[in-house]
Amino acid sequence: MKASGINGQLELSGDLLLIKREGILAKAAFFGKGEKAVKVDALSSVEFKQAGWLSRGFIHFVFPGSKTLGGNVDAASKNENAVIFSKKQQADFEALHGELLQRMSR
């Protein structure tokens, strides 16, 4: 399962969540940092904010040792464990979020 956002991409592969930074904007925002892999069972929470018609949404992952988020899109744009998305991209992120919640509850 995959979702592509404004500043990164997510891929749910087996028991791993991959956070990727492909594309010029994503690489510039995170100084060329590559891929991050997090085991789904290591996630302690997932914060999801829906996009509006004029605003962007985000998904943020919390696990031991990760930085907390201030709760808004500006903070998410600077957090390496968050990906921002538009209203057009939201359906893929909602599906991935739902699947993650199911896996985390097992």
Residue 21 φ then ψ, to 5°: -125, 80
Amino acid at 51: A
Average pLDDT over residues 2-19: 92
In the chain, what percentage of residues exceed pLDDT 90? 49
* Residue 106 pLDDT greater than 80, yes or no: no
pLDDT tens digit sequence for 27-51: 555 555 668 888 999 999 899 999 9
Order of strands across the sheet that contains 82-85:
45-49, 57-62, 82-85
How many Å apart are CA 71 and CA 22, to the nearest integer?
24
Q: Which residues contact 96 (CB under 8 A, 6 or more apart)?
A: 1, 2, 3, 10, 12, 59
More confident residue, 70 or 56: 56
* pLDDT confidence of residue 28: 53
**Alpha helices, DSSP H only, in the chain?**
24-29, 73-77, 90-105
* pLDDT confidence of residue 29: 54
* pLDDT confidence of residue 26: 53
- Nearest CA among 40, 35, 34 for reference residue 61: 40
Tell me the whole-structure pTM to 2 decimals. 0.85
